Amino acid sequence: MAGEIRITQDDIDSLATKLDNFSEALTNKERDVMSAIMRLAAGALESPSNQSRTSEMGTPEKSPGGRLSDGFRQAFEHGLGTTFRIRPGGAISHSIDGG
């Protein structure tokens, strides 16, 4: 469709690399100006008319259900991964906490 923006991860990576290189030539003030322009551009891309892009890993997010920050509840547990501890003879003794 005319005017539709289709963006891939490669496009973003390629542009980001070029901007990183380009930013080395800028003064702090020039960099601020570029950041402001990028914010405006990001706002334009986020407008309802440009919502045909895909989200990370190519799958659009389903319609929001609950606030994002709800996902932090009970996100933390003490300890790390666990595995079987196997004695030299091959018998499983018990599982242990990897932490």
Partner 1 sequence: MKSARPKTRSGPCRVGLISMPFVSCFRPSIQLGLLKSVAAARRFSVHTFHLNLDFARQIGPGAYEEICAVRRAFIGDWLFAGAAFGDALPDRAPDFLTEYDSDIHAAITSVDKPAEYLRTVREAEVPQFLDAMMAELPWPDLEVIGFTSTFQQNAASLALAKRVKRAHPSIVTVFGGANVEGDMGVELVRAFPDIDYAVTGEGDRAFPEFLDALASGRDPATVAGVLCRRDGAVHGAGCRPAPVDLDTLPPPDYDEYFDRAERLGLLSMAPRRHVGIPFESSRGCWWGQKHHCTFCGLNGTGMAFRAKSPQRLRQELASAARRYRSFTFEAVDNILDMAYLRTVLPQLIEAGTDYELFYELKANLTREQLRLLRTAGVRQVQPGIESLSTRILRLMRKGATAAQNVNTLRWALYHGITVWWNLLYGFPGEHREDYLAQERLMPLLAHLPPPNGAYRIRMERFSPIFTDRAAFPARQVRPQASYRHIYPGHVALDRIAYFFDYTFVDALPEADLAGIRRRADAWRESWAEPVAPSLTFHAAEDFLQIEDARDPAQPGTYTFTGPLARIYRFCSDRPVTPSAVRARLNPDRPLDEVTEALSGFCTRGLMMRDGERYLSLALPATPGR
Task: Identify residue 19 by its one-letter amino acid code.
Answer: L
| DSSP conformational letter for 56 | G
CA 89 to CA 11: how far, in whole Å?
54
Closest distance of CB 89 from partner 1, Å: 27
Residues 48-77, mask of contacts with partner 1 (x by CB under 8 A): x-xx-x-xxx-xxx-xx--xxx-xx--xxx
Backbone torsion region of residue 62, taken as left when φ is above 0, otherwise alpha when ψ lies between -120 and 50, otherwise beta: beta
**Contact set with partner 1 (CB under 8 A):** 13, 16-17, 20-21, 23-25, 27-28, 35, 39, 42-43, 45-48, 50-51, 53, 55-57, 59-61, 63-64, 67-69, 71-72, 75-81, 99
